[in-house]
Amino acid sequence: MQKYIVWCEDLGHEEEDGGKVDAYDHESAARVWAEAHDRRTSDYEIANGGGTVLTVKEIATGVIEQYSVSAKAVPHYYAAKVPNVM
């Protein structure tokens, strides 16, 4: 795993605002950051169809790549038998 810094210029972020992420590559770092961002803000902006572009920098090499991230919310339904009350 490598260390990355990920930030979103669409949100007004610059590199120094970025979050540090451990990931296998630039793309997985973008996915990890996007999921954490949606969970942290509780607005699920990305999963609700508001994809964005992320800038991802590998700390060791300084290589910077950009990724368009998107997601979709998938509801899960559960059922449990209710015991007879008599």
Going by C-beta distance under 8 Å and a sequence separation of 6 or more, which residues neighbour residue 19? 5, 6, 7, 33, 36, 37
Per-residue confidence band for 1, with pLDDT thresholds at 50, 70 and 90: very high
CA 28 vs. chain centroid, Å, equals: 9
Task: Identify the pLDDT of residue 57.
Answer: 98
The pair of three-digit structure tokens given for residue 28, joined into one six-digit string:
């997985």
What's the whole-number average pLDDT of the chain? 91
Nearest to 65 by CA among 6, 19, 24, 2: 6
Task: Identify the pLDDT of residue 86.
Answer: 66
pLDDT tens track for 35-55: 999 888 877 788 888 789 999
